[in-house]
Chains A and B, each alone.
Chain A
Amino acid sequence: EAQVTQNPRYLITVTGKKLTVTCSQNMNHEYMSWYRQDPGLGLRQIYYSMNVEVTDKGDVPEGYKVSRKEKRNFPLILESPSPNQTSLYFCASSDTGVYNEQFFGPGTRLTVL
């Protein structure tokens, strides 16, 4: 089944404790991206990747890192999480960048205490 998977689905952590949210897609898509969703603000793009080893900042990249060592994986790294990073995070992928349908993962709800 074609899908985007994310892990973990839920995470409660404390300020300053490094964490990684994994994202994997099995559709051989070149474009992958991370979004955060906050009430009243919609989806805001954190980082995106056009292909392996190619990443770029989205609209809200501060406090986040990403890497794209393999085509299928695009982990999101929070080196020192803070409470304002409490949010719902979605990974997405597409075979034609932003020119067509984005396939979203199920989401990761993160709480930083």
Chain B
Amino acid sequence: GQQVMQIPQYQHVQEGEDFTTYCNSSTTLSNIQWYKQRPGGHPVFLIQLVKSGEVKKQKRLTFQFGEAKKNSSLHITATQTTDVGTYFCAGRKGNKLVFGAGTILRVKS
């Protein structure tokens, strides 16, 4: 069945450095969503990508959806301590949402 793989599992960066997490699917995705979960919190929706090759930006965050709609990435420019947390991607599978395992981001100040 469809799986969504996410790498890296964990990343520790110096404040001001960039960060990227990647999401890959074994099958074509109709959409991909990204969520952020702060430590001790619940997942919060960031964005959804639908179109092949789509790129969306939210301030320092850049989201991309691959041309084949099988992969996606989230890039954070110049990380800040407020960026800490776990970032999840999720792809639609029928009426279900399949999540990646998440990337834990830690930022050293």
Of B31, B42, B95, B98, the contact of A56 (CB 8 Å cutoff): B95
Docked CA distance A107–B35 (Å): 15
Segment at the interface with B among A13-21, A65-73, A74-82, A93-101: A93-101
Shortest beta-carbon distance from A87 to chain B in Å? 14
In angstroms, Cα B47 to Cα A99, docked, is 12
- CB of B48 within 8 A of CB of A45, answer no
Kindly list chain B residues whose C-beta atoms are within 8 Å of the C-beta of A23.
Answer: none
Taking residues whose C-beta sits less than 8 angstroms from the other chain, chain A's interface range is 20 to 34
A-B contact pairs, 30 of them (CB 8 A): A40-B101, A42-B88, A42-B99, A42-B101, A42-B102, A43-B43, A43-B90, A43-B102, A44-B99, A45-B96, A48-B96, A90-B42, A90-B43, A97-B95, A98-B92, A98-B95, A98-B96, A98-B97, A100-B48, A101-B33, A101-B48, A102-B35, A102-B43, A102-B45, A102-B97, A104-B42, A104-B43, A105-B42, A106-B41, A106-B42
Q: Write the residues of chain B forming the contact surface with A, with a CB cutoff of 8 angstroms.
A: 6, 9, 31, 33, 35, 41-45, 48, 88, 90, 92, 95-102
Additional pairs, 20, CB under 8 Å, beyond known A43-B90, A102-B43, A104-B43: A33-B97, A41-B101, A42-B6, A42-B100, A43-B88, A43-B99, A43-B102, A45-B98, A48-B96, A56-B95, A58-B96, A59-B96, A59-B98, A92-B43, A98-B97, A100-B48, A101-B45, A102-B33, A105-B42, A107-B42
